[in-house]
Structure 1
């Protein structure tokens, strides 16, 4: 079974719908510690600059305190930690919503960062999950039913194909300024999204 790096942020957290295994790494990014505990999980690592919350005490987790004057967000620092430990699949809770829209946008960047290092990330919101693919293919889970949206991310995306969705595209070019891929929908068969050159930000039903 594929091992997961599960990260909790301080945004809106919607309870995980699965149990995690012994080989999965659970990281709390700063204020995400409270969310992880509320979900009944004991983080393996807590990392952050603790500018919005105090560093937890009386915890068995490894606590990493970061300098507050830094380039990386606490979430990106958690992502980098998971990569250093060899994880290739990341699930992020609490990385959307809250009172910081800019942090949500930054976490889309974290998904693209994972792509750059050969990993895949999934950012979990209440009703949808976001992921980024680069020069590759993504199969919408068979059980997912509802809205699927696809956007060019970080520049022009060429050779885009949308298959088995309500609206199809073949060898299309998507640009960031024209969101033609918004508000598509799943069909009777599992949808497939692919891009030959560039990156796509994909939202699919949780």
Structure 2
């Protein structure tokens, strides 16, 4: 991405200001070589003993003490027409982005994060305490356990095909105010999904984070 503030050839952990589990932060940092905080996410990083490489946002959630510790790493973006997640996404470039602190907090913040996810075409995973969300901008093959929850939440009209799901989706016209696919389940250990266009959000249990990372590992190739 031209003009990116932080670049990585491996992965970037992106931390927001919402709930962040320490085990998730450690798991993501272990898979990344750079850490970026979206505004108040810097506080969560510092509390966990992680020094972010950069902090991006309007920075209205950072107090004087945090600003002093983060001197030289702050990248303020003053405009108020986008969220801190949007600002941070514009500032980073990596084949894999692991986003923490954007799900499971305020409902309006979660909705805005899912909208941002649906607008992005990269391998961007938003990780909550119970779930992992991914925009299915490309076909995907997942290794899951039989019975794993597989939810499909359209952010726009979209059709697709799947193999390995308990309830077929091949004849459905998904749309936000029409048919959606929450609480489907894996019927086989291998689940494949392919949609005709952008807009479908896949949500699987947090314990399948590793499987989801493996599944998107070839998207940037």
TM-score band by shorter chain is 0.7 to 0.9
Tell me what 2:11 maps to.
4
Q: Please tell me whether residue 32 in structure 1 is matched to residue 38 in structure 2.
A: no
Deviations along 1:162-183, whole A, 9 cap, x unmatched? Answer: 2112222225321221244110
Task: Indicate which of 100, 118, 124 corresponds to 1:93.
Answer: 100
Q: Structure 2: how far apart are the matches of 1:60 and 1:140? A: 42
2:52 counterpart (43, 49, 59): 43
In the alignment, what sits opposite 1:110? Answer: 116
Residue 102 of structure 1: how far off its partner (Å):
1.5
User: CA contact under 8 A between 1:132 and 1:200: conserved in structure 2?
Assistant: yes
Greater share of helix: 2
Q: Which residue of 1 aligns with 2:126?
A: 123
CA-atom RMSD in angstroms? 2.5
Q: Find the counterpart in structure 2 of residue 79 from structure 1.
A: 89
Deviates further, 17-26 or 178-187: 17-26
Q: Which residue of 1 aligns with 2:77?
A: 66
- Return the TM-score normalized by structure 2: 0.77
2:166 is matched with which residue? Answer: 166
- Matching residue within 149, 160, 164 for 2:151: 149
Q: 3-state SS of the aligned residue for 1:172?
A: coil
> Is residue 98–residue 125 contact of structure 2 (8 Å, CA) maintained in 1?
yes
Q: TM-score, normalised by structure 1?
A: 0.82
Number of equivalenced pairs: 195
CA distance in 2, matches of 1:72, 1:130: 20
Aligned with 1:53: secondary structure? Answer: coil
Gapped regions of structure 1 (runs ≥ 5):
none
The answer to whether the aligner puts 1:204 opposite 2:204 as a matched pair is yes
SS at match of 1:167: coil
> Greater share of strand residues, 1 or 2?
1
Kept in 1, the 8 Å contact 2:102–2:109? The answer is yes
